[in-house]
Amino acid sequence: MATASEIAAVGVIGAGQMGSGIAQLAAAAGCAVLLLDADPTALSRAVASISASLLRLAAKGQLSQAAYEDSIKRIRCVSTVQDLRDADLVIEAIVENEDVKKKLFVELDKITKSSAILASNTSSISITRLASSTKRPSQVIGMHFFNPPPIMKLIEIIRGADTTDEVFAAVKSFSERLGKSVICSQDYPGFIVNRILMPMINEAFWALYTGVATKEHIDTGMKLGTNHPMGPLQLADFIGLDVCLSVLRVLHSGLGDNKYSPCPLLVQYVDAGRLGKKRGLGVYSYGQKSSSVKP
Which residues of the shown chain bind ligand NAI in the complex (CB under 6 A)?
13-19, 36-39, 42, 93-96, 100, 104, 121-123, 144-147, 239-240, 243, 278
Q: Which of 133, 156, 185, 246 is catalytic?
A: 156
Q: Which of 160/240 has CB closer to ligand NAI?
A: 240
Q: Is 64 annotated as a binding residue?
A: no
Q: Is 215 annotated as a binding residue?
A: no
Q: Is 277 annotated as a binding residue?
A: no
- The backbone torsions φ and ψ at residue 117, rounded to the nearest 5 degrees and listed phi first, read -95, 135
Return contacts of 48-54, CB within 8 angstroms, 24+ apart.
49/20, 50/20, 50/23, 50/24, 50/75, 53/21, 53/24, 53/148, 53/150, 54/24, 54/28
Q: Closest approach of Cβ 254 to ligand NAI, in Å?
A: 15
Residue of 80, 72, 78 whose CA lies nearest to 53: 72
Q: Which of 71, 123, 126, 133 is catalytic?
A: 123
H or E element in which residue 47 lies: helix 40-59
Q: 182 with 145: CB under 8 angstroms?
A: no
Q: Which of 207/247 has CB closer to ligand NAI?
A: 247
175 is catalytic: no
Q: Is 19 annotated as a binding residue?
A: yes
Q: How far does CA 18 lie from the centroid of its chain?
A: 5
Q: Which of 70/107 has CB closer to ligand NAI?
A: 107
156 is catalytic: yes
Q: In angstroms, rounded to a whole number, what is the distance separating the alpha carbons of residues 17 and 36?
A: 13
Q: Is 96 annotated as a binding residue?
A: yes
Q: Which of 104/207 has CB closer to ligand NAI?
A: 104
Q: Closest approach of Cβ 155 to ligand NAI, in Å?
A: 10
Q: Which of 223/249 has CB closer to ligand NAI?
A: 249
Q: In angstroms, rounded to a whole number, what is the distance separating the alpha carbons of residues 134 and 243?
A: 24
> Is residue 32 classed as helix, strand or coil in its secondary structure?
strand
Q: Closest approach of Cβ 283 to ligand NAI, in Å?
A: 15
Q: Is 273 annotated as a binding residue?
A: no
> Is residue 61 classed as helix, strand or coil in its secondary structure?
coil
Residue of 166, 147, 164 whose CA lies nearest to 240: 147
Which residues are known to be catalytic?
A: 123, 144, 156, 194
**Annotated binding-site ranges:** 14-19, 37, 53, 60, 96, 101, 123, 147, 278
Residues in binding site for NAD(+): 14-19, 37, 96, 101, 123, 147, 278
Q: Which residues are annotated as a binding site for CoA?
A: 53, 60, 123
